[in-house]
Homo-oligomer: A and B are copies of this chain.
Amino acid sequence: MLQVKTPEEVLALIKKEFTPLSDCTELVPFTGALGRVLAEDIAAEEYVPDFDRSTVDGYACRASDTFGCSDAIPAILNLAGEVRMGSAAGIKLPRDSCVYVPTGGAIPEGADCAVMLEYTEDYGDGTIGIMKPGAPGMNLIYRGDDVFPGKVVLKAGRLLTPQDIGALAAIGRMQVPVQRKLRVAVISTGDELVPPEQDPGPGQVRDVNSPLLCALLEDFGAEPVHFGIVVDDKDLLREKMEAAVRECDAVILSGGSSVGVKDAACQIIESMGTLLLHGIAIKPGKPTIMGKAGNKPLVGLPGHPVAAFFVAKLFVLPLLARLEGRELHRYPARARMTESLNANHGRMQVNACRLISSDTGLTAVPVRSKSGLITQLAGADGYLIIERDREGLDKGAEVEVCLD
């Protein structure tokens, strides 16, 4: 008999039992790579910039020709030309000379600094007065300062952000190896469930978990595959789960909170592979099961939407990230409790909250409602985690609010 595991044990179990998929890479155009998981390190193959550039509008010159100059005693340099944007400098700088160069323009051979326009004066006779001494390297970006061949710009496992797309453009990387999107089956069980578009009859409720979990998977960057609602029937459930495991990389079952169905799900998982977990010491979310068929996870979430949501956030998404080799970064916000929140179960407790910004910082308002009510989640901004050994959160306490 499997024992209830702590959240830490469950995360360790995930790491131990599942490995990143090996056949999971596809090439996509870099403009379509936003929000995808990088499958390999990306190294530059060229220099960026490919030439020495000025970071200012001004005059490129030899610093040594300007040493000792000042407002009172400018260095007088011959104007040897002008660099145009998008062109080679096209000149080798003679001694005691300078060339005009715009921001981003190429620095001519022989020059080792650029003096900003405001520290210069054009005397109109082919000479330029320099009022502020240059120093070698001043206001320059050298060839390869940004990147050079072999420099790793982005690491495998990173979820690509807009700025990463910019970096890929900068190095001319037009095709990017990313993890293909995981296909994740979503199955709801329960005799009481009707599809959301159907009016519930007596004793019936709409299936919330299917659209909730599909949206969560979509948001995560996976491809949800909805397998519909299965009534509490072991044979039908087995059939559905077998089809799901054939077609998908992972299967998420929810509902079946009745003892019979949970037992059936456990038996089906055992017959398909290995049952790894039966119960997590978390509230809500305890009746969670997890197993695997090969390297494919099979998860049974509680039927209560709130519980299913928290367990999916806290354990299913890290599990999928593990399959993808994705680095999952989650940074909480810091806020003060507007009121106290009790907890004392010997279990980690998760509670939705709203966040309110004020002049004195962020405050967290716990959302109070009976277990399983979906409106606890609608409109919530994040969630609070109260560790097992903590007897609730006091009013005014500083807390970390999980945002994703």
Residues on A close to B: CB < 8 A?
30-31, 34-35, 48-51, 55, 57, 83-89, 102-106, 141, 145-147, 151, 153-155, 158, 161-170, 172, 174, 190-193, 196-197, 199-216, 218-219, 232, 257-259, 303, 305, 309, 329, 331-334, 355, 357, 362, 369-375, 377-382, 401, 403
Contacts and interface: CB of A to CB of B under 8 A. Distances in A.
A375 B206 contact: no
Contacts of A193: 86
Contacts of A209: 166
Contacts of A153: 375, 378-379
Given A332-B333, A372-B55, A202 B164 contact: no
A102 B258 CA distance: 7
Contact of A355 (B48, B191, B331, B382): B331
A355 B331 CA distance: 9
Contacts of A162: 212-213, 215-216, 218-219, 309
A47 B138 CA distance: 70
Contacts of A146: 369, 373-375
**A213, A219, A333, A381 — most chain B CB neighbours (10 Å):** A333
Nearest to A197: B174
Given A51-B203, A146-B374, A191-B84, A380 B309 contact: no
A258 B57 contact: yes
Given A48-B205, A85-B191, A212-B163, A104 B257 contact: yes
Nearest to A167: B378
A190 B141 contact: no
Nearest to A155: B379
A103 B374 contact: no
B205 A154 contact: no
A370 B55 contact: yes
A258 B232 CA distance: 70
A174 B196 contact: yes
A335 to B, nearest CB: 8
B208 A169 contact: yes
Given A141-B373, A214-B31, A378 B154 contact: yes
Leading 9 A-B pairs by shortest Cβ distance: A166-B212, A167-B378, A88-B202, A163-B377, A331-B333, A162-B215, A86-B192, A165-B215, A86-B191
A154 B334 CA distance: 24
A249 B86 CA distance: 31
B172 A206 contact: yes
Contacts of A200: 50
A287 to B, nearest CB: 10
